[in-house]
């Protein structure tokens, strides 16, 4: 029986989505951080569960042929880049395999072909958004950097190799400012201290910079001096405070205090310019976002005559991309400031065939379909990691669009939702993973579904009113 503190020599056979190597001892799987497929290593068991355990790499005996020296000096401690020790082409193969396995295991889609991942030429310095926690080390010195894996221990590192180089300068200015004016960083355990995080957003193509200081209070002492120092950086466009006084791990609060410049920065994807506010969702990898949206546009197959619904639309990034090629696009997003940005972005780009709704996609679309009998030729969904609500999937199936383009950041929930949609009469035609989080474990996937029977609701073959009457009756019966 395997126990904590046991030592073994293992061969790493596979890797998890979080970048941990998987080795087996007498058939018992152990997850081992800092190892890659092909490594032979001496490990120490640090935790044992009923069907699996965790190990710590003690000594690398035979390195894998796919192992490389991480470029970042704190790659092993930091939890941000789980795959830096693996050759980049092998990272892409691992992500393709991850998508394929999830579609087969969860979605039952064993015959679907998954294309090779669209990768990057240079997988560093791509992020346009950096969130840095502040704290203190054991000696009481201010630290700023990134959390160690599975912890909230801050690894002091000003220069993340995924961030834009200017972020190092901004973080250094903030640390010096706090030290000079004796401004305390936030202590999660005690719920004391002022500065929680620093959010930096970069316009990759415009060069514009936004700095947002997240504080456990209502004001930042000596903020005029911080503004003066930050404004010495070329491209500084917006400086603000975000008020978060809650005892929570959620980074951003809801209240903004503007200190300098505009309330947004701008950037572009292709020839469309976007306004981005602190709370807006905007893809973090601008180089790959163009490839991602080009793929989604290609899958949508627009001719200029289609009505499109873009669900979880954010600031309208995909919506406006599609609007240039569609008759009408409707976007839905729960974050109200994002919808304000979306409407502004449409106006700024001269796009008049896009309309936006504030609310949950799983509430807005069913309500519009039920009360106004809206139609859709194409539906695009780009949900958060939890995937689509079943009510939304039901409505998509009832609306019977010709095509559904599903953009996913989690292939496990994608597989679950594809299983539902294929059961409702749709066929998976194309699956294209796109590298959006180079050196990390996640992968974005664009999937095209085609309606096999576009003129009726496949299982029920009912009119809309009958469909919802039955669904309401089922819900009432469930309450009893």
Write out pLDDT tens, residues 349-398: 999 999 999 999 999 999 999 999 999 999 999 999 999 999 999 999 99
- Whether 404 shows a pLDDT value over 90: the answer reads yes
Residue whose token pair is 């790959």: 288
Percent with pLDDT over 70 in the chain: 95
- Where do runs of H (alpha helix) occur along 58-199? 88-105, 166-180
For 348, phi then psi, to 5°, come to -65, -30
Q: How confident is the model at residue 318, as a pLDDT? A: 96
CA-based end-to-end distance of the chain: 48
Q: How confident is the model at residue 461, as a pLDDT? A: 41
Pairing of strands 378-381, 236-243: unpaired
Q: How many CA atoms lie within 13 A of 303 on its CB side?
A: 3
- Whether 468 shows a pLDDT value over 80: the answer reads no
Residue 311 in contact with residue 392, Cβ under 8 Å? yes
- Whether 475 shows a pLDDT value over 90: the answer reads no
**C-alpha angle with apex 446: 369 to 283, nearest 5 degrees?**
90
DSSP, collapsed to helix, strand or coil, labels residue 121 as coil
Closest CA to 89 of 112, 106, 65, 125: 65
47 Cα distance to chain centroid: 29
SS3 percent helix, strand, coil of the chain, rounded to 5, is 25, 30, 45
Under 8 Å CB-to-CB from 271, ≥6 apart: which residues? none
Number of residues that make up the chain: 480
- Whether 466 shows a pLDDT value over 70: the answer reads no
Under 8 Å CB-to-CB from 50, ≥6 apart: which residues? none
Residue 21 in contact with residue 12, Cβ under 8 Å? yes
- Whether 433 shows a pLDDT value over 50: the answer reads yes
- Tell me which of 141-155, 214-228, 240-254 is least confident: 141-155
- Where do runs of H (alpha helix) occur along 301-432? 317-323, 336-348, 361-372, 390-399, 411-423
Q: pLDDT band at 337, cuts 50/70/90?
A: confident
Active site residues: 409
Closest CA to 335 of 367, 313, 303: 313
Q: How confident is the model at residue 467, as a pLDDT? A: 55
Residue pLDDT, tens place only, 275-325:
999 988 899 999 999 999 999 999 999 999 999 999 999 999 999 999 999
Instruction: Say how many C-beta atoms besides its own lie within 10 A of residue 183's C-beta.
Output: 20
Alpha-carbon gap, residue 199 to 312, rounded angstroms? 23
**pTM of the complete model:** 0.91
Q: For residue 403, what is the DSSP state?
A: E
DSSP, collapsed to helix, strand or coil, labels residue 213 as strand
Q: At how many degrees (to 10) do helices 390-399 and 411-423 cross?
A: 40
Q: pLDDT band at 459, cuts 50/70/90?
A: very low
Closest CA to 131 of 33, 242, 224, 216: 242
Give the containing element (helix H, strand E) for 467: helix 464-479
Residue pLDDT, tens place only, 21-72:
999 999 999 999 999 999 999 999 999 999 999 999 999 999 999 999 999 9
Residue whose token pair is 């973080």: 171
Residue pLDDT, tens place only, 166-212:
999 999 999 999 999 999 999 999 999 999 999 999 999 999 999 99
Structure tokens that stand for 18 in this block: 């979080």
**C-alpha angle with apex 207: 205 to 210, nearest 5 degrees?**
120
Under 8 Å CB-to-CB from 253, ≥6 apart: which residues? 214, 242, 243, 244, 245, 246
């Amino acid at each position: 029986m395997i126990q904590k503190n046991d030592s073994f020599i293992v061969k790493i056979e596979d890797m998890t989505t979080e970048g941990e190597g998987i080795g087996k001892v007498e058939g018992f799987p152990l997850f081992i951080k800092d190892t890659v497929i092909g490594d032979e290593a001496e490990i120490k068991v640090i935790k044992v569960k009923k069907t699996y355990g965790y190990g710590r790499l003690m000594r690398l005996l035979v390195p894998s042929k796919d192992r490389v020296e991480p470029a970042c000096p704190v790659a092993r401690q930091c939890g941000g880049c789980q795959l830096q020790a693996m050759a980049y082409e092998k990272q892409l193969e691992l992500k393709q395999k991850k998508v394929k396995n999830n579609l087969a295991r969860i979605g039952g889609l064993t015959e679907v072909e998954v294309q090779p991942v669209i990768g990057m030429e240079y997988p560093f310095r791509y992020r346009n958004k950096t969130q840095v926690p502040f704290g203190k080390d054991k000696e009481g010195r201010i630290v700023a950097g990134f959390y160690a894996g599975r912890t909230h221990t801050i690894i002091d590192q000003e220069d993340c190799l995924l961030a834009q180089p200017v972020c190092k300068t901004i973080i250094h200015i903030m640390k010096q400012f706090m030290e000079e004016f004796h401004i305390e960083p936030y202590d999660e355990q005690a719920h004391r201290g002022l500065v929680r995080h620093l959010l930096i957003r970069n316009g990759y193509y415009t060069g514009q910079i936004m700095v947002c200081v997240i504080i456990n209070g209502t004001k930042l002492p000596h903020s005029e001096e911080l503004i003066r120092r930050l404004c010495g950086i070329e491209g500084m466009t917006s400086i603000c405070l975000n008020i978060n006084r809650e005892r929570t791990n959620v980074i951003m609060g809801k209240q903004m205090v503007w200190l300098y410049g505009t309330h947004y920065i701008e950037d572009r994807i292709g020839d469309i310019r976007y306004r981005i506010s602190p709370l807006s969702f905007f893809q973090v990898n601008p180089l790959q976002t163009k490839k991602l949206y080009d793929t989604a546009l290609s899958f949508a197959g627009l001719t200029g005559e289609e009505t499109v619904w873009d669900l979880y639309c954010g600031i309208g990034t995909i919506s406006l991309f599609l609007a240039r090629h569609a008759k009408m696009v409707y976007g839905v997003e729960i974050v109200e400031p994002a919808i304000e940005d979306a409407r502004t972005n449409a106006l700024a780009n001269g796009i008049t065939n896009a309309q936006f709704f504030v609310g949950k996609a799983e509430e807005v679309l069913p309500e519009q379909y039920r009360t106004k009998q809206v139609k859709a030729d194409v539906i695009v969904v780009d949900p958060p990691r939890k995937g689509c609500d079943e009510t939304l999937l039901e409505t998509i199936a009832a609306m019977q669009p010709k095509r559904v383009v599903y953009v996913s950041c989690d292939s496990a929930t994608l597989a679950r939702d594809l299983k539902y949609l294929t059961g409702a009469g749709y066929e998976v035609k194309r699956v294209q993973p796109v590298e959006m989080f180079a050196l990390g474990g996640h992968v974005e996937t664009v999937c095209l579904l085609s309606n096999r029977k576009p003129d009726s609701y496949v299982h029920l073959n009912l009119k809309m009113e009958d469909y919802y009457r039955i669904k309401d009756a089922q819900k009432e019966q469930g309450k009893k």
